[in-house]
Structure 1
């Protein structure tokens, strides 16, 4: 499906003249840089952090391009995926007029960003097995619906959304479909990145925070059509990814084998932890997971949560979230951390 992206853009964004930084205006090599009002004497650190970073992160994008198989002009890098989410609202949703469709339970930042940008929210709950309710979604969409957010594997439930259902949404929706794949490295399902050539209304979000272990660097990735990436670059802050994060990410991306080994171990630990939790009498259900966490239904979620907190073990209480009543979300830790968790929970029931 090919749609006219310009028909979705806010008028003020179409007319916007983006900020032009010193590093945007000058291309090439130079030995004397007197254009950006930087400290010419250097920085008090070993690396020359006195210079502004590449505003388009070309070196880092080239490395990601080689790993993901996506051309650099189809890649946007943000200060976490949250920046890309916010830019989608600011570029395509008119405050007080347009709306977005969410499918709870899901990642909470979509709703927060909508509220910050004064964009109305329509909600269609996932089914009881945490899949899309396609009929209800079709009924909820109107002429002002600009974005649909689908998290797969989903947070906080951990399951992947049926691929054919997502394809149905993308093929029949005249707005943008945003697939958040923060946990895709832990799943058997293939990324929707491979569908970018088929749909210019598709935006795929990924991150270096989860499987890559770089949460502190705050680097999120958005993959989409070149025209949507151009919109992101037009309205983002000029230097949204700092030099330290860019350089450390480049170093980390050389260590694919280490990350793959961690992914394999995490999946194995996830399956073992699920089995052992099911042996505890107060555990009612462990939902299937394609992520690096599991959703566990227990008899007394708030009591058990506080019990673990008192022992220095922090999980996430999701018992107040729609469709997650009675549930705790547990991130998969190291073998030793998982052992401590199981030991504490075993003692809880004694």
Structure 2
């Protein structure tokens, strides 16, 4: 770091390690030759049309063509919804709106999605942790100990990377415990794979409930960067004070609107069902490898497993152009790898390579 940069950079950023996204880890990869099963993306690339007639104009801050159909889809009112550049921006906006830098804190429950902590660190907001229990359920007493000490409580359900959903009774306890002291942010990025456990219908009952959603997973639009924050209108209006004036590009709004049309929703549901079937099939096939231990649950579009020689397996798969995700740096996930569900062909390729790897291990033993 140069003397000038070191002099000027914010103190809280000097030691910060950027979030290691799946694309950053394998930057420059040739997507046509590699099988990407590492970022919880959908394997489907759906077709859309674009109208360029208004590209010379600034877009709506909150385009009704996106806001209204998503509100209908989620079962909320339009004034309970905000659209942003992915759910990641929603996380950042919540922290910027409700946490004072250098003063306030958020609470996370690791192992979980890494951007809650990164967004807090970049905003100079402190991070408290109440790790999940051995079965990946919430540690309620540990969470309760932070009442009055945090402004935001982030809970991912279904959780990335464990694939577990938070029980309704537990989440209700958290919402009630922090009713007068903190917003409870439920990240539902994978909710289409566990639709019965959504909290979107509970906004009226819990004024401190906030929900994050995205089009990146089930809607197969990770490249679009379009997410949603669901909350009571007072929370939404507060966030509107800090959001950029034109957060949603016009092409993004056009594609999102098509994805949220009746035909788009039907296609999404069919693809979710396909991936759910693939998930069960892949889990069955993994049982042929006694060296592996399935970890967590399967409420999302990925499978987590533990293997004592995980680095050897990772290296073998990467050498054969199949990419999965190493999660072993997270608490209680030692030697854990995560597989994103792909197409039947992609999943078969992965499993065939795994079978070849384990056969080599037997031969060399």
- For the superposition of Structure 1 and Structure 2, which TM-score range results when normalised by the shorter chain? 0.7 to 0.9
Map 1:302-321 onto structure 2 (within 5 A).
Answer: 302-321=311-330
Q: Note the C-alpha offset of 1:281.
A: 2.7
SS in 2 for 1:127: coil
Structure 1 unaligned spans of 5+: 1-44
Asked if structure 1 preserves the Cα contact closer than 8 Å seen for 2:136 and 2:296, the reply is no
Q: Does 1:160 align with 2:169?
A: no
The CA distance in 2 between the partners of 1:168 and 1:121, in whole Å, is 21
When residues 101 and 46 of structure 1 are mapped into structure 2, their CA distance, relative to the original with a 3 A threshold, is closer
Contact between 2:327 and 2:337, CA under 8 Å: does it hold in 1? yes
Match of 1:116 in 2: 122
| Contact 1:153–1:160 (CA under 8 A) maintained in structure 2 | yes
Local SS of the residue matching 1:291:
coil
Structure having the higher Rg: 1
Higher-RCO chain (CA-CA 8 Å, sequence separation at least 6): 2
| Deviation for aligned residue 1:288 | 2.1
Q: Is the 8 A contact 2:188 2:198 kept in 1?
A: yes
Deviations 1:15-64 (A, max 9, x none): xxxxxxxxxxxxxxxxxxxxxxxxxxxxxx84330011111212211111
Residues 97 and 144 of structure 1 are in contact (CA less than 8 Å); yes or no, is this contact kept in structure 2?
A: no
Say if 2:348 is the partner of 1:346: no
Equivalent of 2:106 in 100, 105, 109: 100
TM-score normalised over the length of structure 2: 0.82
CA contact (8 A) 1:274 1:286 kept: no
SS of alignment partner, residue 82 of structure 1? helix
CA distance in 2, matches of 1:286, 1:333: 19
- The match for 1:144 is 149
What TM-score do the two structures reach when normalised by structure 1?
Answer: 0.85
Secondary structure in 2 matching 1:324: coil
2:205 to 180, 194, 198: 198
Does structure 1 residue 89 correspond to structure 2 residue 95?
yes
Relative to structure 1, the CA distance from residue 46 to residue 197 in structure 2 (aligned partners, 3 Å threshold; closer, same or farther) is closer
SS in 1 for 2:210: strand
The structure-2 alpha-carbon separation of the partners of 1:188 and 1:231, relative to structure 1 and needing over 3 Å to count, comes to closer
Q: Aligned partners of 1:235, 1:285: CA distance in 2, in Å? A: 42
Superimposed CA distance per residue, residues 253-286 of structure 1 (whole angstroms, 9 cap, x where no aligned partner): 1211111111111111111101111211321234
Conserved 8 A contact 2:135-2:296: no
- Residue number in structure 2 paired with 1:226: 233
Cα distance in 1, alignment partners of residues 65 and 165 from structure 2:
32
Moved more, 129-138 or 251-260: 251-260
SS of the equivalent of 1:205 reads strand
The aligned counterpart of 2:176 is 171
Q: CA deviation at 1:69?
A: 1.7
Equivalent residue number for residue 59 of structure 1: 65
Q: Distance in 2 between matches of 1:46 and 1:87?
A: 29
Identify the residue that residue 217 of structure 1 maps to in structure 2: 224
Contact 1:80/1:219 (8 A) holds in 2 = yes
In 2, Cα distance between the equivalents of 1:47 and 1:216?
Answer: 22
Task: Assess, with a 3 A threshold, how the Cα gap between structure 1 residues 261 and 122 changes in structure 2: closer, same or farther.
Answer: same
Tell me whether 90-99 or 326-335 shows the greater mean CA deviation: 90-99
- Correspondence list, 1:67-82, <5 A: 67-82=73-88
Per the alignment, in what secondary structure is the counterpart of residue 231 of structure 1?
A: helix
The alignment of Structure 1 onto Structure 2 pairs a total of residues equal to 305
Aligned equivalents of 2:157, 2:147: Cα separation in 1: 24
Alignment partners' CA distance in 1, 2:330 and 2:295: 16
Query: Are 2:194 and 1:187 equivalent residues in the alignment?
Result: yes
- 1:88 CA displacement: 1.0
Cα drift, residue 87 of structure 1? 1.0
- Once residues 295 and 150 of structure 2 are traced to their aligned partners in structure 1, the CA distance between those partners, rounded to angstroms, is 35
Task: Give the conservation status (yes or no) of the 8 Å contact 1:293–1:331.
Answer: yes
